[in-house]
Amino acid sequence: MAATGTVMKVSGPLVVAENMSGTKMYEVVRVGKDRLVGEIIRLEGDTASIQVYEDTSGLTVGDPLVKTGLPLSLELGPGILDGIYDGIQRPLERIQQLAQSVFVPRGVDVPNLDREKQWDYTPENNIKVGDLVTGGDVVGVVRENGLFKRHMIMVPPGVKGRVTKVMPAGKYTVQTAVVEVEESGKAMKVELFQRWPVREARPVVEKLQGKEALLTCERVIDALFPVTLGGTAAVPGAFGCGKTVISQALSKYSNADCVVYVGCGERGNEMAEVLTDFPELTTMIDGKEEPIMQRTTLVANTSNMPVAAREASIYTGVTTAEYFRDMGYNVAMMADSTSRWAEALREISGRLAEMPADAGYPAYLGARLASFYERSGRVQCLGNPPREGSITIVGAVSPPGGDFTDPVTSATLSIVQVFWGLDKKLAQRKHFPAVNWNISFSKYIRILEPYFEKYDAEYSMLQQKMKEILQKEDDLQEIVQLVGKDSLSEDQKCTLEVAKIIREDFLQQNGFTDYDFMCPLAKTIGMMKVIVGFHEAAQKMMAEYSGEHKVGWNTIAVAMKDMIKKITDMKFEMPRQSEEHYKRTFVALHDEVLAAFRTLAEVLATRRCFVFAPAPAPPQTAPAGFRLAQQVSHTVVLRLDAELQAFSVLRLGHAGAILQQYWHFQCWMVLHRLLSVVMSVLTTCLTFVWQRGQAGAVWRLPELTGAIQPHLAWHPDAACLASVSPAGHVAVHSLVGESTEHLHVQGDGAWPVAAVAWQPCDLSSLAVAGPLGLCFWRRKGSWQRIWSLQGEAFASSALAWSPDGRALAAAGPLGVVHILGPHSALIGEQVVPSQFTRLQRWCSGGLAKCLAWSPDGALLAVLHLQEDTEPSVRLWSTRSWEVAAVVGLGAPRPSGSELGVSLAWMSSELLLATASLHLVEVAVRGGTASNVGAARLGEDTSGFWAAGSEPGVRVVSLPGQEARRVLEVSVCPRSAQRLAVRLEGCREVLVYERPTCGLAGWSHRELSPCGILAAEGAAPATLAFAAHAVQRSGSEGSLLAVYWCLDNGQHEVRTYPMHFIPAQVLQTSTAANALF
């Protein structure tokens, strides 16, 4: 094409040319001898103003211009995805290969799409010769990559007519005409790609209202400020607030089908980071991992590229997004940042000598922004088959100094429907994402209510409650800063603390951790439900217990310390779990929160009690197997059990009694004398009525002998109980059907079993260990062995699943402990041992006797025994698999002695029963091995709990049992203050309670006996508490299973319902007199 004009003026990226008659606005021209790409932006008579998209250095007056006659257009077809382009869609990767330079050469002319690569093309919709087609009709499909399998080949808009030629399936380049159309004698070719001008929106049938949410996997956005598929959102924020990180997170983890990421005027290292990170991120498609880069296209116009190209890059990105939208896909477009685009407009406007508006920006800034954002939306696409697509535009805005009154920010806020305002102060406090919940908003909440209610019917209520709590906190902060926190009411203190949990453990999200880099919607809603449920239960309790029996926030905070810890640890749930797993986990935690408040209400109900002082009586003796507890001001405390069946003596003395009751006596003076007589009779008796639990279920086992220590393992929901006999046989007892199934674990020969463990996340799976290895069983109608790991290397005597069921710890000889995982290999239909990975192995010699995971899964406790060496407990961090603490347990193990030992976590503390004269406790605060102190009963331990104290043990004696060795202890999960103990030479199981006043209370209190379990002609061999009780009569409690070895050689497994009513034990007569 002949030259049509000459350069008459050069001003930076702006070139003024003459002899330009016949040209039109936004036409592309080639400027100078290097044929630089330019676009006409103003026409005045015979002159034209041209913005050049390349460096204009070296241009001189008189240089020629070549007219192309075409607007600035994109080539849209296979090959766009998984590529990076500059602002005018020049492929940077191919340019680098040709130029062998990190800089883009001036005037380089490379086809936007690869002309040589062949694509697998398949015709669709039965297109044949003679059919009528119109713009938007799908004629075939190209498989672009493993993640984007259906790249639709469409008839370009504006093309219609009768099909005259159809190419069969095969491999073609993008220039191949797969369909030819004829209209009014004019033939038109439909190639694999099409051209479209960037400044013109692609046509659609109609725009539709959004109905589904763009799930970003960011809790603060999905929970409080959601955006629809087809919506518009702005992310303004100062430097360092995390705009780019949010944009990249949306690109990585959103539920969009494809992503267009436009880096407009930002730093080059940010685009380099995208190119580095995206190929490493994968998603599972048809059982194969595919990089998410295969669904992404990048438009990079960094700050060191020509300013004029920034203005075109935004339109390049949105035109590319429209192309994929027309295929029926949901597209997410990230523009980072629109402020740099507006600055390009300002520079070109200034060089055109246009009248500036606010801050020097052109007066048409708002109109340009509106024309850009209005190209978003959910639409009905042109052509057949009928389909719907959407474009969601998220524009980052960079106001100078974080000033939201900046013209670009103000104009953007008047257009977009969602505003995620980033706060510099939150960023300085390292709170990310730094979205300020007080200034952000979303106008799509009502539209999206039906969508979110499909996940959870209470979503709208949870969202509103959470916003109210945060808003109240903002209002109360002003009061706190003026007059202090003590001036607040109890419900306001509760609101402040719950708001702190929301801020620090819900809204805050660490994108660089394996547990919080993304958060699925099911996990987000589950966390919302637990937090709001806790707040409402606390507020309700404080409202009910007001006036004389007032309950403050401090009372709730102390009583619910462990529950609050569980709530704050919800974020540690791994993100790649199923939706059913999250629902099950968080519903269980929500129910546990409500149950904890009901238990606290029962404790608070004991405040309604009166004290009766009967006539003195002679001192009494304790029941067999118990001794008189320490004399406490000569008082006797009695307590009524849950079903009013018997009295339990908690403390005995020389005279006096305190009776705690659950009803309020109106005429206590009349009852005083009656109860005085009753108490006098009781205190003169030599024997007392003790609560002896009646067995709820009994399973009689065949006569079995062997050297294996019997073992019990409860099903996670307490529906079944697995037992291991001395001969190493496994039986599964059903509490619902009252039946017993036997597992035939022998295989090719005898396979003695030493331990079993139910998998928490798969309630029909059972791990079995023994001297010959490990095996895994699952119930599929009947019990079937799925896999086994045989050999001495996998010989195991103890098993323990992590709380989330992701890892299995197995203790073997020579102190070896294997950690096997991941759990996904355990719950699939096709499971083979080769899918297991050994995460860690360590060896210390001796015997790894017991294993116990902390409730939060952060620590694994391993009890090591070795002859002539001090027994020790090693606390391993499950994140780094390093020893967090080693706690010695006193004297070395005597040579040849048989030591029965067990481990049990009691909330955040670890209890051990050792074959010595004591019950030994290792205190581990908050699930970590820090701040561990040591003291003996009766000493003041307040000084031992200061930060930096040395790890150690505290020894607590069992009243009346100083001469017996402790063989086993089992902790009641529902009431962590109760524990059952099996002693050497004792034919009964003793149940004790520990103080409820916290760790420091050990210096003043000891374990109190509260029950005895016995079987006629039998001795206990092992025992285990269930996590939950099977509810039959509506009463709440827990189940204790005991394996009894009968004197006649037979064996029985019995379960006992344990009904616990928390008791408040008064210790001094001064306190008793105060109640009068």
State pLDDT tens for residues 386-401: 999 999 999 999 998 8
CATH number assigned to the domain comprising residue 323? 3.40.50.300
Separation CA 105–CA 302 (nearest Å): 16
Q: Which two tokens stand for residue 516?
A: 């919080």
Whole-number average pLDDT of the chain = 78
The SS3 of residue 387 is coil
Separation CA 872–CA 888 (nearest Å): 4
> Domain boundary residue among 446, 467, 499?
446
What contacts 592, CB < 8 A, 6 or more positions away? 563, 566
Alpha helices in 37-91 (DSSP H): none
- 277 in the same domain as 352: yes
Of 706 and 903, the one with more pLDDT: 903
Q: What is the pLDDT of residue 1075?
A: 24
- 391 in the same domain as 471: no
Residue 543 lies in a domain: yes
Q: Apex CA 273: angle with CA 272 and CA 274, to 5°? A: 90
Q: What is the pLDDT of residue 867?
A: 66
Instruction: Reply yes or no on whether the pLDDT at 202 is more than 90.
Output: yes
- 364 in the same domain as 504: no
> Domain boundary residue among 418, 446, 474?
446
- Could you give the maximum distance between any two Cα atoms of the chain, in Å? 125
**Each residue's pLDDT tens digit, 142-189:** 999 888 889 999 999 999 999 999 999 999 999 999 999 998 889 999
Instruction: Say what percent of the chain tops pLDDT 90.
Output: 42
Torsion of CA 506, 507, 511, 516, to 10 degrees: 20
For the packed helices 308-325 and 365-373, what is the interaxial angle rounded to 10 degrees? 20
Sheet strands (E) in 551-686:
637-640, 647-651, 658-660
Please give the span between the terminal C-alpha atoms of the chain, in angstroms, as a whole number.
Answer: 110
Torsion of CA 68, 71, 72, 75, to 10 degrees: -90
Sheet with 919-922, strands from edge to edge, namely 902-906, 909-913, 919-922, 954-956
What residues make up the domain containing 159? 114-192
Given pLDDT bands bounded at 50, 70 and 90, which one contains residue 814? low
Residue 1036 lies in a domain: no
Q: Which two tokens stand for residue 314?
A: 């935004």
Instruction: Reply yes or no on whether the pLDDT at 775 is more than 50.
Output: yes
Residue 528 lies in a domain: yes
The 8-class DSSP code of residue 401 comes to G
- 601 in the same domain as 505: yes
Residue (of 506, 498, 336) closest to 435 by Cα position: 506
> Domain boundary residue among 392, 417, 446?
446
For the packed helices 338-351 and 365-373, what is the interaxial angle rounded to 10 degrees? 140
Separation CA 657–CA 681 (nearest Å): 12
Of 432 and 878, the one with more pLDDT: 432
Encode burial over 489-516: b for 16+ CB neighbours within 10 A, e otherwise.
Answer: ebbbbbbbbbbebbbebbbbbebeeeeb
Instruction: Say what percent of the chain tops pLDDT 70.
Output: 74
Q: What is the pLDDT of residue 445?
A: 95
- 160 in the same domain as 237: no
Residue 487 lies in a domain: yes
Residue (of 949, 961, 856, 951) closest to 913 by Cα position: 961
- 428 in the same domain as 469: no
Question: 47 near 16, Cβ under 8 Å?
Answer: yes
Q: Which amino acid is at 943?
A: G
Q: Do strands 637-640 and 658-660 pair parallel, antiparallel, or not at all (unpaired)?
A: parallel
**Each residue's pLDDT tens digit, 991-1018:** 877 665 443 334 334 667 777 788 888 8
Number of domains in the chain: 4
| Cis ω for the linkage preceding 337 (within 30 of 0) | yes
Neighbouring CB atoms inside 10 A of 18's CB total 15
Q: Which two tokens stand for residue 11?
A: 């001003």
Enclosing H/E stretch for 1020:
strand 1018-1025
- 408 in the same domain as 280: yes
Question: 1024 near 970, Cβ under 8 Å?
Answer: yes
**Each residue's pLDDT tens digit, 553-572:** 988 998 899 999 999 999 99
By residue count, the chain amounts to 1076
- 478 in the same domain as 428: no
Of 903 and 823, the one with more pLDDT: 903
The SS3 of residue 525 is helix
Given pLDDT bands bounded at 50, 70 and 90, which one contains residue 845? low
CATH number assigned to the domain comprising residue 31? 2.40.30.20
CATH number assigned to the domain comprising residue 162? 2.40.50.100
Alpha helices in 503-578 (DSSP H): 521-544, 553-559, 561-568
Among the ranges 655-664, 688-697, 758-767, 920-929, which has the highest mean pLDDT value? 758-767
Residue 864 lies in a domain: no
- 48 in the same domain as 19: yes
Separation CA 434–CA 769 (nearest Å): 49
Residue 839 lies in a domain: no
Residue 671 lies in a domain: no
Enclosing H/E stretch for 903:
strand 902-906
| Cis ω for the linkage preceding 168 (within 30 of 0) | no
CATH number assigned to the domain comprising residue 512? 1.10.1140.10
Q: Which two tokens stand for residue 247?
A: 């944009």
- 470 in the same domain as 441: no
Question: 396 near 338, Cβ under 8 Å?
Answer: yes
The 8-class DSSP code of residue 91 comes to B
What is the gyration radius of the CA atoms in the chain, in angstroms? 37
Residue (of 428, 393, 359, 378) closest to 235 by Cα position: 393
Encode burial over 75-107: b for 16+ CB neighbours within 10 A, e otherwise.
Answer: bbbbbbbbbbbbbbbbbbebbeeeeeeeebeee
Residue 85 lies in a domain: no
- 581 in the same domain as 492: yes
Given pLDDT bands bounded at 50, 70 and 90, which one contains residue 989? confident
Separation CA 626–CA 717 (nearest Å): 34
| Cis ω for the linkage preceding 1057 (within 30 of 0) | no
Q: Do strands 161-166 and 151-154 pair parallel, antiparallel, or not at all (unpaired)?
A: unpaired
- Lowest-pLDDT range, 476-480, 655-659, 742-746? 655-659
Separation CA 339–CA 243 (nearest Å): 12
Q: What is the pLDDT of residue 1015?
A: 81
**Each residue's pLDDT tens digit, 347-379:** 999 999 999 999 999 999 999 999 999 999 999
What phi and psi values does residue 785 have, to the nearest 5 degrees?
-85, 125
The residue-averaged pLDDT of 524-541 equals 96
Instruction: Reply yes or no on whether the pLDDT at 233 is more than 50.
Output: yes
- 289 in the same domain as 429: yes
The SS3 of residue 944 is helix
Counting beta carbons within 10 angstroms of the beta carbon of residue 674, is it exposed (0 to 12), middle (13 to 18) or buried (19 or more)? exposed
